[in-house]
Structure 1
Amino acid sequence: MTLTMDVISETIDRVDADTRNRQFSAKLHSIIATSLISHGVDLERINAFFMAGMPSKQSEYIQASSRSARSHAGMVFCVFRPNDLRERSQYQYFIQNHTFLNHLVDPVPINRLTSKVIERTVPGLLAGLLLCVHSQRFSSTIYNCKAYRDYCADMTTKGIDVRRELIGQLQRMVGVDWNYFPLVARQKADAVINSQFDYCEHLLQSSAGELKIKDERVLNPLTSFRDIEEGIPLMPATETGWIFASVETSFHQSQGK
């Protein structure tokens, strides 16, 4: 049988459908999978996981081993290859490796000062500041647009510039005041923060008062690392040029051109 995405989807649906009411003999009891299962496959019925060898990266090991015990108690068995020096080391120092497992993960190759990173994280940082920090000095929680506008008006009467405070806090959170980063990169990041804040502030001031600040029509903070950006449509065709033309058209449409 050829392993296709349809087969994988059917298998996942079958495991999800296996409830306690289904007869034991009718349930799926084991799955043989590649590393594909470690990416976004959340099945609460998986409570025993056998790993054939050690992945090349600690992050992959964490991802794969966490497929077990999603909702209930579970066990993970690592079957190391005795002739592999690296895996023998993993076996000999198993406890030590797992004690410092999170510290052994390779750093993510993303520059925190890049424009796209700032654009996607500022809304979440701003929502966190309003809900957790600025709400403490206001009469009520700043959970919707009306509360934000009331808060700004109240602070203005007290001579406090909320905009300046929030931008300063965002700058420190992103790290534009760190001398570790080049001055040019920090200046560019500072400009992006100001621009992104102005956009978010406009939404908070102009949106309906009852809308929550985390609403997708307002700040819409990032809630998942998979939610990076909207994908472009890729459709198979006999003519490669037609595919590129379709992608280019979709890109210009998304940019309003």
Structure 2
Amino acid sequence: MRDAWRLATGTLTAVPVAAPRAVTPAVARSAMLLAPLAALPLGLLVAGIGLAGRELGIPLSPLGFVAVGALAAGSRALHLDGLSDTADGLTASYDVKRSLAVMKSGTAGPAGVVAVVVTLGAQALALGTLFGSLRGVVLAGVLVCLSRCALAITCARGVPGARTDGLGSSYTGTVPRAATVTVWIVAASVAGLVAPVPLRGVVAVALAAVVVVALVRRTVRRFGGVTGDVFGAAIELALATLLVVAA
């Protein structure tokens, strides 16, 4: 379990941790299931910015952008890179090899830039709205953590990998489907408890799951499977959905 914690924390956050002794399928599975808890430092970071900004009287919209920037730094912008690469791959070509090559190149094309700008803008404005109340600040931090539940879908058994190498290859297909469903049921329960309007929290989680499933289905059809970039894109899109619906 210690290796799983190290893997989840070291991969999903900028918190310095020791490297896991080995990355076995069991460790990878546990790491993906622990992802929402491993993201707790990021949730606390966003909630802390919301609280501090309210005390200092910072306008809410700029405060939302500050929180998004801090969140990107706290995750080393890894998920945003995945979002950009996935958008570029989906729009580059219908040829699988060409699309995967574009994703692996590391450069950001027009589609990737637009995807990042729109997604970050939606997240920032929604965070600004949530920061308008103390309960909204807490909810914002919780939703940051719950967005990492997206990995339980991207890594679910039955979802193929598009490559045999790369960051995502160690995690693909490691999470049992029953565990995936359980993770999202728990996420909906938590959101319902924290949200000022319980039903809105549950709906936010449900819609986020739909968005991630749609992304996975699309990438499997286009690329033949998922990649580490798709994992990052799923997290960012899940977060945007959660925040916008909750706000």
Q: Do they fold alike, i.e. is TM over 0.5? A: no
Instruction: Report the TM-score, using the length of structure 1 for normalisation.
Output: 0.26
Structure of greater relative contact order (alpha carbons < 8 Å, 6+ residues apart): 2
Instruction: Report the TM-score, using the length of structure 2 for normalisation.
Output: 0.27
Bigger share in helix:
2
